[in-house]
Structure 1
Amino acid sequence: MTSGLVPNFPFCSSSEVRSLSNYTFKNHPRLRLTNPSSLQLHPYRVSPQAKATSAAMEVSEEIATTSDSSPPIKLLFVEMGVGYDQHGQDITAAAMRACRDAISSNSIPAFRRGNIPGVTSDQMKLQIKLGVPNSLQQSLDIERVKSVFPYGKIVKFEVVDGGLICSSGVLVEEMGDKNDDCYIVNAAVYVGY
């Protein structure tokens, strides 16, 4: 069925590949290798698409960590979260929940314990990027959103088109609903020094 199969294991030696092939191909009912000694090792190859993706990632990391109006940060973590306001149609509440979601399941003791040589907790820098539906961006209270962060200096706060407005499926007047809209905000929190 697969007699012409020549696997490519770029990080294995010849003996490791033969050992692997003898076990894998003899013991697996669907895989057969008629001549394990014909296994060839190929040098590690990177496709043009992978090279382009890697270059784009380097550029986007540079953009994410620097801006014209704020000093560059040495990026350590990127925390991501999502926040919802299902009743009441308050985009700021959704944004605050997104930021809390981003930071709530992480602990960064390195700043407090001095694990980064020459860096103290006073030097922690944050860059906040929120995806908010365009039609709601003007009603976002940025100062309330910033209050979510217990420490760290916010050096950049960016609001971009994103998030979502969808139906919650029900209008509950007792909870302050004006309609059945649910607001969703996405948050990316860049942590560094």
Structure 2
Amino acid sequence: MTACFFLNLPLSSSSSTAFASHSNYQSPSSFPPLLTLISTQFSHLRTPRFSRQIRAASAAMEATQQGETTASASPMKLLFVEMGVGYDQHGQDVTSAAMRACRDAITSNSIPAFRRGSIPGVTFEQMKLEIKLGVPRVLQPSLDVEKVKSVFPYGEIVKVEVVDGGLICSSGVLVEEMGDKTDDCYIVNAAVYIGY
């Protein structure tokens, strides 16, 4: 199939006369059917791009709706978010770093509202916790989540989520007496969500 494209270029008087005298010359009034034919023949070439955009927009809307459904079905009503950072400079124990991060998040806070019954209709036993830990991916398999949970003195832990995060960096020194195998320092971030 041969496609013909028309350019709106100025022609000299001699070239326009020669073009007009050509036996296959069609007047501009015959262009619309030709353009209709071309657009009909090639319409399938531009459809996928627009349909991909429509599919992407539709998928984004579905994800947003699912996120709203998940948020509304949350197992607790959120009151506080506490954040902390924990380090293990010697011994290369990511669980120790995670426990320190959780302690850092909770030890500088006091929440008497639960014990004193300041939240109407909510008892101390209804306190719930969700824990989110940012741990370097390569260290996640060696994380002992049960040990991390032991940091929290009260409250029902309804969820522990481990995501890619934290850091592995050099402590600057390898101290064999402290259990170092390398000079790596492990850093973990913690977010503790408290509600009922």
TM-score, with structure 2 as normaliser: 0.64
CA distance in structure 2 between the partners assigned to 1:61 and 1:104 by the alignment? 32
Q: Give the match for residue 170 of structure 2.
A: 167
Residue 19 (structure 1) aligns with: none
SS, match of residue 88 in structure 1: coil
Partner SS for 1:129:
strand
Identity of aligned residues (%): 82
Partner of 1:108 in structure 2? 111
Match of 2:143 in 1: 140
Determine whether 1:121 maps to 2:124: yes
| Cα distance in structure 2, aligned partners of 1:128 and 1:65 | 19
Once residues 82 and 61 of structure 1 are traced to their aligned partners in structure 2, the CA distance between those partners, rounded to angstroms, is: 30
Q: Give the C-alpha shift of residue 141 in structure 1.
A: 0.5
Q: Does residue 83 in structure 1 map to residue 86 in structure 2? A: yes
Matches within 5 A, 1:1-193: 72-193=75-196
Give the whole-Å Cα distance in 2 for the aligned partners of 1:65 and 1:130. 23
CA distance in 2, matches of 1:191, 1:83: 19
Q: Deviations over 1:110-146 (max 9, x none)?
A: 0000000011110000000000000000000000000
Shift of 1:63: 6.0
2-structure distance, mates of 1:65, 1:90 = 37
Kindly provide the CA deviation profile for residues 128-166 of structure 1, in whole angstroms up to 9, marking residues without a partner as x.
000000000000000000000000000011000000000
Q: Please give the secondary structure, in 1, of the residue aligned with 2:173.
A: coil
SS in 1 for 2:172: coil
State the match for 1:51 in structure 2. none
C-alpha distance in 2 between matches for 1:130 and 1:66: 22
Structure 1 or 2: larger helix share? 2
Structure 1 CA distance, aligned partners of 2:72 and 2:131?
11
- AA at the equivalent of 2:171: S
Larger-Rg structure: 2
TM-score by structure 1 length?
0.64
Alignment partners' CA distance in 2, 1:62 and 1:101: 32
Unpaired runs of at least 5, structure 2: 1-65
The 2-side partners of 1:146 and 1:154 are apart by 8
Q: Label 1:63 to 1:167 Cα distance change in 2 as closer, same or farther (>3 A).
A: farther
For the structure 1 residues 91 and 168, does the alpha-carbon distance in structure 2 shift closer, same or farther, using more than 3 Å as the test? same
Would you say how many aligned residue pairs link Structure 1 and Structure 2?
Answer: 131
